[in-house]
Chains A and B, each alone.
Chain A
Amino acid sequence: MGTHNKLQRWFGAAAVLAVGLAGCGGDDNATPGSAAPGAYAAETVTVKALDNTFDAETLTIAPGTKVVWENRGRNDHDILVAEPGGAETFGVTKADFAPKATYAHTFTKPGTYAYFCSLHGTKDKGMIGKVVVTGGDETAAQPSVSTVAPSSSNATTAPADGPATLAVPGDFATIQAAVDAATPGDLVLISPGTYNEAVNVTTDNLTLRGLDRNTVILDGQLKLDNGIRVLGAKGVAVENMTATNYTANGFFWTGVDGYRGSYLNAYRTGDYGVYAFDSINGQLDHVYAAGSPDAGVYIGQCYPCNAVIDRVVSEHNGLGYSGTNSGGNLLIVNSTFRNNRAGIVPNSGSYEMCYPERETTIVGNVVYSNNQPDTAAIDVAMLAMGNGILSAGGISNIIERNLVYDHDKSGIGLVPFLEEDPNDEIPGDDELKMTCAEQKKIPVTQPDGALLWDSKHNRVVGNVLENNRAADVLLASVGSDLAMLGNCVQDNSLTTTAPNALQDLAPCSGAGSGDWNAGAYNIAAWLTEQKPPAQDWKTAPLPALTAQENMPSAATAPPNPAVNVPAKVDLATIQVPAKP
């Protein structure tokens, strides 16, 4: 009988069932302020601003069509309405319409709208143009010479005319709507405002850009998962905006080839601030990240990653930077990691693929005061607390010319990671040059017990270290012979090391000498130390958030998909940074 009741209960939902199977898309995102342009219908036509004419000069469109003007000339131009006071207000100044810039306006009201370029014409002579918006009920546009048929709903841009700019909320009420309408190469340009959205991107080569980094805010309201999530789409760049209050990540690329995150703020997030997983050929620059229990900035599961982290500030996170099983032309340069539980923590482990972490290059960073007791923190952050740059089971990392000071434990530590719950054996040296894709094909062997991932073959050279209270440079293992791990330490400005006199014991050039047991460090004690409790990421205190530098020319710079990333970094020119 109970069963019968039960069946009725669940079967009562047949209507919902049908909806579920029909595929009702991810419209869980809330909508920011402005109303949806009802007939946006993703119809876009392009007008070229040439030197010095508009082509087409007269455009006839249906209501709801977006007109994108592109400056294809070498001159500055502008667009002014010839008869102000009409039903449509549009136009752009020369500052925002430099060569290669675009301007878009969606016309919803029938009428004829004349415009001109004040630099190369007058209201009725020279560089002039006209948009005719047809009446609401007619079907065919007027067959004038210059009529341009709106493109189909799935082709927002006019492909032959190059990328379009899709304005939010001007053309599309939500970022997701603009992203869904965009085609490869387009720019989604977001005006200041708060957007309660979790945006998914699956189209290649888009540029998503905020007009102002500090006031274009994606807010997950502690309920939505990711601010912007790029899933397998190549070459997607995200620029000049803020994401906060997301239960997973602020900005997230997964499974992509080509990514760039620039001039981004990410704070108060449940996992990571800016997160690139299983992705290659990337760049994260001018990022500010605070308030995540895991890492503010993370690149993981890639080899070779071929990626650059440059001019990032990461603070008040569990970890400033973390990268599990990443490396291979992976550079972390010119950045600041401060007041996290731990600063820069490349690490190895078999719960994700492509172990071990290897060949990360860490140069020219300022790393200080990573002892912060009141952050959210995953357990690795608790374990790593009080360390500046900590290789936890990393191999062949290069740590050079960093300024590292004020840590309760080490300034630079090369330590093992004890993995109590492994999923595979530690690979042999023959796997270290295999790509991540190749490594994924190797069957796993379940270990019998815990694994110890030692830090090996790392170079610590030319760093400046002060006031790191366990040791400025610390090498440790549990049971392995430190002298055989191949790490070297040379030409650093430092006061203390563990073991003692590391620069004599393990120089990078020439043979070392001395006693490895003198001043050896008991790393196992970290496992049982009490640490200040992890805070809830939703309520953990954050530093006062100050306005961050905007990207140059956000309003006018052309789309810039992540197709030639990372930018080349000239490591040789990077000096030890000055103390802030």
Chain B
Amino acid sequence: MKRTLRAGSLAFALVAAGCAADPSHEHGAHVNTANGAPDRVITGPQGGRGQFVVECALSHQAQDDPIVFPGRPGQSHLHDFFGNTTTSAASTLASLHAGGSTCEQALDRAAYWSPALIRAGQVVPAIKSTAYYRAGPDVDPTTVVAYPQGLAMIAGNAAATKPQDPAVLAWTCGTSGERATAPPVCSASRKLRMVVTFPDCWNGRDLDTASHIDHLAYSRAGQCPPEKPVPIPQLQFTIEYDHAGPTDELRLASGSTMSGHADFVNAWDPGKLQSEVELCIHRNIVCGITSGRRTG
């Protein structure tokens, strides 16, 4: 709690000093180092495990963070927002439910966001996000519970200055199975992606906590810990950027490319989310595949 507040104060001070537009300021507002990582890097071909997948176009960019800086617009680093078209510092669950969606799955009105990618002082456009929803590794898929409405999650550490565990934050090209801790050099036809894997266990009680992570955990050997006993879908969130080639000047609005992270607030249509969890995850059915290759 204290760290969060202090970080918020720092961000506020930066805004007051007129520096908010400078994405190089690293304020470490996200506090997310304690809930670990999946047992293993989740990668490989699709099609072997139940999943549902949602692709969403970039909606908008803003220096807002409804989880970390609610009600305080402009106080965060620059974010790319996907999914819900209304996500802002002022968002509430009701406002999200009233919003539209940039997702192909129009009933997914969840708010997804991640720090903007920057190269040589210019924002690199994000093309789209892909959200893979699956049971966590080795978790009994029939035990997975749909996210409660309004559940807030952060994955990855925005304050990281060293490589994060690639099971949580990784970079890749296209839909490759490679998972690198730093952006690889990609070709123009298989562009750079950031891959963030969210926790898959919940305490069953809190939609958020002061640290934004204490209500969540990663499963171990297919089991959720006793204090966070509820398996939830493991969200693997990827952002594709309009970037190929050299990576030396890349950074994120939150810091270096090692500070990768992503945020999620569940505002899915409740019935649709529930049915997708039951039909695709409980039944271990592949409800969708993304080759990442749509161009029109």
The minimal Cβ–Cβ distance linking B46 to chain A, given in whole angstroms, is: 6
B34: which A residues are within 8 A, CB to CB? Answer: none
A13 and B173 contact, CB distance less than 8 A: no
Given A13-B150, A352-B46: A420 touches B190 (CB 8 Å cut-off):
yes
Partner of A6, one of B44, B66, B278: B66
B43 and A423 contact, CB distance less than 8 A: yes
Asked if B124 is an interface residue, CB under 8 A from chain A, the answer is: no
Residues 40-65 of B at the A interface (beta carbon under 8 Å) = 43-48
B177: which A residues are within 8 A, CB to CB? Answer: 350, 422-424, 444, 446
Given A10-B207, A378-B291, A423-B45: A16 touches B271 (CB 8 Å cut-off):
no
CA distance A354 to B48 in the complex (A): 9
A5: which B residues are within 8 A, CB to CB? Answer: 70-71
A28 and B274 contact, CB distance less than 8 A: no
Size class of the B contact interface (CB-based, 8 Å): 35 or more
A533 and B272 contact, CB distance less than 8 A: no
A255: which B residues are within 8 A, CB to CB? Answer: 283-286
When C-beta atoms are compared, the residue in chain A nearest to B106 turns out to be: A223
CA distance A446 to B170 in the complex (A): 15
Given A247-B104, A254-B286: A19 touches B43 (CB 8 Å cut-off):
no
Partner of A254, one of B1, B275, B285: B285
A247 and B105 contact, CB distance less than 8 A: yes
Given A10-B152, A17-B148, A247-B104: A2 touches B8 (CB 8 Å cut-off):
yes
CA distance A536 to B146 in the complex (A): 32
Chain B 80-106 interface mask (CB, 8 Å, partner A; 1/0): 000000000001111000000000111
B92 and A231 contact, CB distance less than 8 A: no
Chain B 255-296 interface mask (CB, 8 Å, partner A; 1/0): 000000000010001111111101110011111110111111
The minimal Cβ–Cβ distance linking B133 to chain A, given in whole angstroms, is: 14
Residues 180-211 of B at the A interface (beta carbon under 8 Å) = 187, 189-190, 207-210
Size class of the A contact interface (CB-based, 8 Å): 35 or more
A27: which B residues are within 8 A, CB to CB? Answer: 271
A247: which B residues are within 8 A, CB to CB? Answer: 104-106
CA distance A389 to B107 in the complex (A): 38
Asked if A479 is an interface residue, CB under 8 A from chain B, the answer is: no
Asked if B149 is an interface residue, CB under 8 A from chain A, the answer is: yes
CA distance A92 to B279 in the complex (A): 38
Partner of A20, one of B149, B187, B210, B278: B149
Asked if B139 is an interface residue, CB under 8 A from chain A, the answer is: no
A377 and B296 contact, CB distance less than 8 A: yes
A17 and B150 contact, CB distance less than 8 A: yes
B273 and A20 contact, CB distance less than 8 A: yes
Asked if A51 is an interface residue, CB under 8 A from chain B, the answer is: no
A20: which B residues are within 8 A, CB to CB? Answer: 146-149, 270, 273-274
Chain A 13-47 interface mask (CB, 8 Å, partner B; 1/0): 10011011101111110000000000000000000
A294: which B residues are within 8 A, CB to CB? Answer: 294
CA distance A558 to B8 in the complex (A): 68
Asked if A12 is an interface residue, CB under 8 A from chain B, the answer is: yes
Chain A 249-292 interface mask (CB, 8 Å, partner B; 1/0): 00000110000000000000010000001100000000000000
Given A20-B270, A28-B272, A420-B187: A353 touches B296 (CB 8 Å cut-off):
no
B176 and A423 contact, CB distance less than 8 A: yes
Partner of B44, one of A229, A270, A421, A444: A444
A351 and B148 contact, CB distance less than 8 A: no
When C-beta atoms are compared, the residue in chain A nearest to B173 turns out to be: A421
CA distance A64 to B174 in the complex (A): 55
Chain B binding surface SS class: loop
Asked if B4 is an interface residue, CB under 8 A from chain A, the answer is: yes
When C-beta atoms are compared, the residue in chain A nearest to B290 turns out to be: A351
Given A10-B93, A351-B291: A231 touches B145 (CB 8 Å cut-off):
no
Residues 421-480 of A at the B interface (beta carbon under 8 Å) = 421-424, 440, 444, 446
Asked if A396 is an interface residue, CB under 8 A from chain B, the answer is: no
CA distance A536 to B294 in the complex (A): 10
B296 and A16 contact, CB distance less than 8 A: no
CA distance A420 to B292 in the complex (A): 12
When C-beta atoms are compared, the residue in chain B nearest to A252 turns out to be: B287
CA distance A535 to B296 in the complex (A): 5
| Most chain A beta carbons < 10 A, residue from B4, B69, B104, B285 | B285
Asked if B227 is an interface residue, CB under 8 A from chain A, the answer is: no
Asked if B67 is an interface residue, CB under 8 A from chain A, the answer is: yes
Asked if B178 is an interface residue, CB under 8 A from chain A, the answer is: yes
Asked if A7 is an interface residue, CB under 8 A from chain B, the answer is: yes
Asked if B13 is an interface residue, CB under 8 A from chain A, the answer is: no
When C-beta atoms are compared, the residue in chain A nearest to B270 turns out to be: A20
Asked if A548 is an interface residue, CB under 8 A from chain B, the answer is: no
The minimal Cβ–Cβ distance linking A107 to chain B, given in whole angstroms, is: 31
When C-beta atoms are compared, the residue in chain A nearest to B44 turns out to be: A444
B275 and A26 contact, CB distance less than 8 A: yes
B286 and A277 contact, CB distance less than 8 A: yes
B5 and A16 contact, CB distance less than 8 A: no
Residues of B within 8 A of A (CB): 1, 4-5, 8, 43-48, 66-72, 91-94, 104-107, 145-152, 172-178, 187, 189-190, 207-210, 265, 269-276, 278-280, 283-289, 291-296
CB<8 Å pairs between A and B, sample of 10: A6-B70, A10-B207, A13-B93, A13-B94, A26-B272, A231-B287, A248-B288, A533-B296, A535-B296, A536-B296
Known A10-B93, A200-B275; further 8 A-B contacts with Cβ < 8 A: A6-B67, A6-B208, A9-B66, A13-B207, A255-B283, A353-B46, A378-B295, A421-B190
Per CB-CB distance, the 5 closest pairs between chain A and chain B, nearest first, are: A534-B296, A26-B275, A421-B174, A421-B176, A423-B177
